[in-house]
Chain A
């Protein structure tokens, strides 16, 4: 099998919140059409790192970034980067489901409409395709015009995934997407990841070590802003190279 070029190529990435350094010399490649898990204790920099991939940290005024983040070979921190387009291509799903207070249909059509799609038939297609991809369509197809807030937590989270997929992204970033969900909803989303990675590149932050083990192809362990170990998930969970990784995943931390 021919090795594709990495989706993201990050070199010597440093990030500060004011004077406090949150990421230190991160150099890593993220492979396309795979699931990469980011693990580490709270405050280790994993969510900050995730947000550097679509420049969500820009929204925090004190943030300073050095180093380069190449997305398909182009530095997304270059001055001429179209950040709106970047975030369309690199979508994000958050920890708590955050549907808009509107119908299921309008939640999903929101993004495409912002990007200028008005045709009803086209929007219908997008809504259905996105819900199917997010493994939600069958459960909600008869209530697309009802409020999204009436869905269960697990359904809301899959709706948020469908909303991201509706704008046809290339990469989906997920920040602890199942931490607020019960085991059945979690399993549905984990199964979904297996499907989604055939088409998308997925980077997921998780505090659930078993989840990282189950869903990801590669795992990165962050500690105190450093990338301690980055390896195939099976290898990292069975025979980690670094003692700090071993301690963390075995629960010997702290």
Chain B
């Protein structure tokens, strides 16, 4: 009976996506902690972990492609498998942004920003929660959660804009600090992009559940 094996494989894929999502979330937490503490060891861990995340993505995608080839799924089964490609693709990009965030710690170590990084930390904290909820919305097939998670991207965008203004004000007072200001704004941009990837992931979940393409955040 086709269903039994198919369901087993599907469960395995769900498990792998949970593992990938958890790792990305954990990397993001570590990067945030590194930013707060300046711990270079954590930065190394995040970079090493990103290699594992990339490998996880390939494994999941190969497995999903295999399942499509051998079981010819249709309807929601097919939408679910197609969605997995989008989920892993976005998680992989989110993992890259965690690395960028971690690298910021190094970049700032020689030339620290003399003000608190509250806004960056807040953005990263929202991002962490969004990643967690987005993966949960996929696994639990929870459309409402996918929609509410994507909506949080607005908060990230607001923090990003405010932080850019803050850094520009700092630059006006310290014209010699253009390099530092550029690094800070780049980092904030990564965190902002990260929210967009979570939004994409949530859109994929809504597509999986309804069959309709939706823009969750314009």
| Residues of chain A at the chain B interface (Cβ within 8 Å) | 209-210, 213, 237-240, 245-246, 249-252
Contact between chains at A238 and B75 (CB < 8 Å): yes
Q: Which of A210, A213, A246, A251 contacts B76 (CB 8 A)?
A: A246
As a 0/1 sequence over residues 71 to 89 of chain B, the CB contacts with chain A under 8 angstroms (1 = contact) are 0111111110000000000
Closest chain A CB from B34 CB (angstroms)? 44
Rounded to whole angstroms, the CA-CA distance of A245 and B1 in the bound complex is 18
Q: Give every chain B residue within 8 A of A252 (Cβ-Cβ).
A: 3
B6 within 8 A of A: yes
Rounded to whole angstroms, the CA-CA distance of A237 and B73 in the bound complex is 9
Q: Give every chain A residue within 8 A of B78 (Cβ-Cβ).
A: 237-238
B175 within 8 A of A: no
Rounded to whole angstroms, the CA-CA distance of A210 and B74 in the bound complex is 9
Contact between chains at B75 and A246 (CB < 8 Å): yes
Q: Is the interface of A mostly helix, strand, loop or mixed?
A: helix
Q: Give every chain B residue within 8 A of A213 (Cβ-Cβ).
A: 74
B69 within 8 A of A: no
Q: How many residues of B contact A (CB 8 A)?
A: 14
Question: Which 8 pairs, one residue from A and one from B, show the smallest C-beta to C-beta distance?
Answer: A239-B211, A237-B74, A251-B2, A249-B74, A246-B75, A251-B3, A250-B77, A240-B75
Q: Give every chain B residue within 8 A of A250 (Cβ-Cβ).
A: 3, 73-77
A-B contact pairs, 27 of them (CB 8 A): A209-B72, A209-B74, A210-B72, A213-B74, A237-B74, A237-B75, A238-B74, A238-B75, A238-B79, A238-B211, A239-B79, A239-B210, A239-B211, A240-B75, A246-B75, A246-B76, A249-B74, A249-B75, A250-B3, A250-B73, A250-B74, A250-B75, A250-B76, A250-B77, A251-B2, A251-B3, A251-B6
Rounded to whole angstroms, the CA-CA distance of A209 and B77 in the bound complex is 14
| Residues of chain B at the chain A interface (Cβ within 8 Å) | 1-3, 6, 72-79, 210-211
Rounded to whole angstroms, the CA-CA distance of A83 and B2 in the bound complex is 44
Rounded to whole angstroms, the CA-CA distance of A250 and B1 in the bound complex is 12
The total number of A-B Cβ pairs within 8 Å is 33
Q: A213-B74, A250-B3 are in contact. List 14 more A-B contacts (CB 8 A).
A: A209-B72, A237-B74, A237-B75, A237-B78, A238-B74, A238-B78, A239-B75, A249-B75, A250-B74, A250-B75, A250-B77, A251-B2, A251-B3, A252-B3
The chain A residue with its CB closest to the CB of B1 is A251
The chain A residue with its CB closest to the CB of B207 is A239
Q: Give every chain A residue within 8 A of B211 (Cβ-Cβ).
A: 238-239
Q: Give every chain B residue within 8 A of A245 (Cβ-Cβ).
A: 75
Q: Give every chain B residue within 8 A of A240 (Cβ-Cβ).
A: 75
The chain A residue with its CB closest to the CB of B4 is A251
Rounded to whole angstroms, the CA-CA distance of A239 and B6 in the bound complex is 19
The chain B residue with its CB closest to the CB of A246 is B75
Rounded to whole angstroms, the CA-CA distance of A251 and B75 in the bound complex is 11
Rounded to whole angstroms, the CA-CA distance of A237 and B74 in the bound complex is 6
Rounded to whole angstroms, the CA-CA distance of A209 and B76 in the bound complex is 15
Rounded to whole angstroms, the CA-CA distance of A250 and B81 in the bound complex is 13
Rounded to whole angstroms, the CA-CA distance of A213 and B73 in the bound complex is 12
The chain A residue with its CB closest to the CB of B210 is A239
Closest chain A CB from B204 CB (angstroms)? 15
Q: Give every chain B residue within 8 A of A246 (Cβ-Cβ).
A: 75-76
Closest chain A CB from B76 CB (angstroms)? 6
Q: Give every chain B residue within 8 A of A251 (Cβ-Cβ).
A: 1-3, 6
Q: Give every chain B residue within 8 A of A210 (Cβ-Cβ).
A: 72
Q: Give every chain A residue within 8 A of B73 (Cβ-Cβ).
A: 250
Q: Give every chain A residue within 8 A of B74 (Cβ-Cβ).
A: 209, 213, 237-238, 249-250
The chain B residue with its CB closest to the CB of A212 is B74
Closest chain A CB from B86 CB (angstroms)? 16
Rounded to whole angstroms, the CA-CA distance of A238 and B211 in the bound complex is 8
The chain B residue with its CB closest to the CB of A236 is B75
Rounded to whole angstroms, the CA-CA distance of A213 and B75 in the bound complex is 11
Closest chain B CB from A215 CB (angstroms)? 15
Rounded to whole angstroms, the CA-CA distance of A203 and B192 in the bound complex is 54
Closest chain B CB from A223 CB (angstroms)? 15
